[in-house]
Amino acid sequence: MRSSLGAFVAAWVLCAAPVAPAWAQAAAAPAASSAATGLPAAELFFKRPDLERAELSPSGQWLAITAPIAGDRLGLIVVDLAGGAKAATLVAGYSNSDVRVFHWVNDDRLVFDVVDRSKGSADQVYFPGLYSVRRDGSELRQLVSLLDQPQDETGTRIVRQRLSPYHVLLHPGPGSGETVIVGEWRFDSTGQPDSLLPKRLDVTTGRASSLAYGIPEHVFSWLFDAQLQPRVAVQTYQGRSKVLWRAPGQEAWATLAEFDTYQAPWVPAYIDAAGKLYVTRGSGKGGTSELVRFDFAKGAPATEPLVSVAGFDFDGELVTETPGSRALGMRVDSDAETTVWFDKRLKALQEDIDRRLPGRINRLQCSRCDHPDMTVLVRSWSDRDPGSIWVWRGEPALWRQISSVRAGIVPARMGKLDLERFRARDGREVPVWITRPAGAAPDQPLPTVVLVHGGPWLRGGHWQFNPWAQFLASRGYLVVEPEFRGSTGYGAEHFQAGWKQWGRAMQDDVTDATRWVAEKGWADAKRTCIAGASYGGYATLMGLVREPKLYRCGAAWVAVTDPRLLFKWNRWADSSDEQRQYSMPQLMGSPDSMDFAAVAPVEQAARIQVPLLLAFGGGDVRVPIEHGNRMRDALRAAGREPEWVVYPEEGHNWFLTATNVDFARRLEAFLDRNLR
């Protein structure tokens, strides 16, 4: 299974000036622009990243990365930051698999899992196994088996009793021992996931022991302390959730709270080095969540917020050197990510690096944070730049660029991203992301694509590089991405205002965003198209149904065309009975009480009067191709033949570069025909 890559692991020495690393030099660079149009090639936006993950070892002497190797496979590489004749070592690389996620367990050993990126999403497995390996590539052990075992086990030392495939990594350990925490999925009689049982796993011997301590079933979420002891367990069953707490030195679990799953008054966030529990609760304006400590004496969250961000739910993490160690700072994401440092040295270093790399988000993660030889990994990005990886060290001094994340992207040619807010027809404030093409005059109305996010119960946008929005902006389109009610991240009121509003108030927000950008003079009202995937595809179809004169065209992929089908049991579906019987009725409404026919695009296909592009994955189990086939048949019956494409090897989330590039080119041509 190991690739023959002797040439690849030849000498690689970090130079003073930023250079492309050896693995990037070996790969064939995609065309910087389309020969026919002079525009940035679609491949630049949708190719595999040149560097996917990077993580310093606990000592900071070694840097582990995943990057393309021979045959475009993704390998695990360890770089000795001290340099030398052979600074880079390929520690795991395979001819039929790709390293996906990895973590340092200690300064000498890593764990990782694998996928097969040559297959579409319809053929991806949910259980990627687990391996451990030393940083020099020796003692490679399989700890958790795969559903589909690799074809060639040559060179892989297998422990005698591997764990079953139904185990996933939950916690990589504190950075000094040889133990990680894995979770074993348990299933009910129908094959649905029923609970996640934590186990302690020795990565050198493969021995595992349970950490359950009498926990009942239906626990899917855990929090661990610095000693890798489970402290918080969250049960979810029949629409109800219960938060359980196990105090240090105790085996019994106490119930801290019980509530309806989607009406939680507070949610566990993390446990600090002192064993204190932090939670988020919706006590800000509009129900935005704030970070507070849990007061065990009162059995409730404290009243005084520790972190509150106006207009946004708290979305952040405590920055530590290793899980559960001393708090160094707090990382928070509002419109853009920022870090508030408690450590004076790191605060000063953040200011220095922000001067070196201005106008960007520069995320710092340190090793040996309290020592003169502190080493810091810097991941730097902006709305126009997918990012780059740098390393800084105090003694001996080091400041080196390791790699760009996506070579070939020219930030000056990318669009500028801003978060705006407007008032919907009922007065609700709705956030909306606007991407303006590079070089566009501020007073010039532009052809526009209203790009609706999927989910729909998630946050659609962040101040970072968005391949789809930037691809469209590079073609001269203003891209409008509304955070319609029902989106998360902007407070409980905004989220709950979208309950049972598919095709109704949620759709009104998309319509109002479309009209608002035209009123502002940013969008050309006569040259606007609506597009999106999954729920965004549904909103595209409903937008064309409800507002036949507002849009010139629509593009919907993996789109829900009949919400009633989402409640239909299917042995291959990735939605559980818990979701169909409890979560979805609460969020969408019950099929017995809601008139879903009135908001099912397939029932109103005759009202769509403009050109439509439809695309589906042949192996989609979340939105099966039945949605697409029925919609296409209804449009044909109405005399409105859509443009149609199916990718047989893909599921709901398109995985292959070729799929995304092909659809991007189809979408580009479709928009050119209808908006130019």
More confident residue, 126 or 140: 140
Helix (H) or strand (E) holding 199: strand 193-202
Rounded to whole angstroms, the Cα distance separating 342 from 350 reads 12
Q: What is the pLDDT of residues 55-105, one digit of tens each?
A: 999 999 999 999 998 878 999 999 999 875 458 999 999 988 999 999 999
The strands making up 88-92's β-sheet, listed across from edge to edge, are 53-56, 62-68, 74-80, 88-92
The strands making up 167-171's β-sheet, listed across from edge to edge, are 167-171, 179-187, 193-202, 208-210
Residue 232 has pLDDT above 90, yes or no: yes
Residue 663 has pLDDT above 60, yes or no: yes
Burial label, 536 (beta-carbon count in 10 A; 0-12, 13-18, 19+): buried
Percent of the chain at pLDDT > 90 equals 78
Rounded to whole angstroms, the Cα distance separating 338 from 354 reads 11
Rg of the chain in Å (alpha carbons): 25
Rounded to whole angstroms, the Cα distance separating 87 from 574 reads 44
Rounded to whole angstroms, the Cα distance separating 138 from 443 reads 61
pTM given for the model: 0.92
Residues 6+ apart with CB under 8 A from 17: none
- pLDDT at position 27 is 37
Rounded to whole angstroms, the Cα distance separating 130 from 105 reads 13
Q: Where are the beta strands (DSSP E) in 461-552?
A: 478-482, 523-533
Rounded to whole angstroms, the Cα distance separating 466 from 386 reads 8
Residue 9 has pLDDT above 70, yes or no: no
What phi and psi values does residue 279 have, to the nearest 5 degrees? -135, 165
Residue 173 has pLDDT above 60, yes or no: yes
Tokens of 306: 């520790």
User: What's the per-residue H, E or C state across 63-109?
Assistant: EEEEEECHHHCEEEEEEECCCCCCCEEEEECECCCEEEEEEECCCCE
Residue 156 has pLDDT above 60, yes or no: no
Q: What is the pLDDT of residues 574-631, one digit of tens each?
A: 778 788 888 999 999 998 888 999 999 999 999 999 999 999 999 999 999 999 999 9
Tokens of 296: 């065990």
In this structure, the dihedral spanned by the alpha carbons of residues 548, 552, 557 and 561, taken in order and rounded to 10 degrees, is: 10
- pLDDT at position 35 is 54
DSSP code of residue 494? H
Reported residue count of the chain is 676
Residue 477 has pLDDT above 60, yes or no: yes
CA dist 378 to 83, 149, 162, 353, 375, Å?
19, 36, 36, 9, 10
- Domains in the chain, start-ordered, CATH in brackets? 1-206 (no CATH), 414-675 (3.40.50.1820)
Cis peptide before 456 (omega within 30 of 0): yes
Tokens of 617: 């994955």
pLDDT band at 549 (very low <50, low <70, confident <90, very high): very high
- pLDDT at position 665 is 98
In this structure, the dihedral spanned by the alpha carbons of residues 75, 76, 80 and 86, taken in order and rounded to 10 degrees, is: -40
Mean pLDDT check: name the lowest of 315-319, 422-426, 589-593, 595-599.
589-593
- pLDDT at position 22 is 40
535-546 and 505-519 helices, crossing angle to 10°? 70
Mean of pLDDT values over 417-428: 98
Q: State whether residue 310 is helix, strand or coil.
A: coil
Residues 6+ apart with CB under 8 A from 126: none
Q: What is the pLDDT of residues 26-49, one digit of tens each?
A: 333 445 566 567 899 999 999 999
Mean residue pLDDT of the chain comes to: 90
- pLDDT at position 222 is 94
Helices and strands: H and E segment counts in the chain: 11, 36
- pLDDT at position 324 is 77
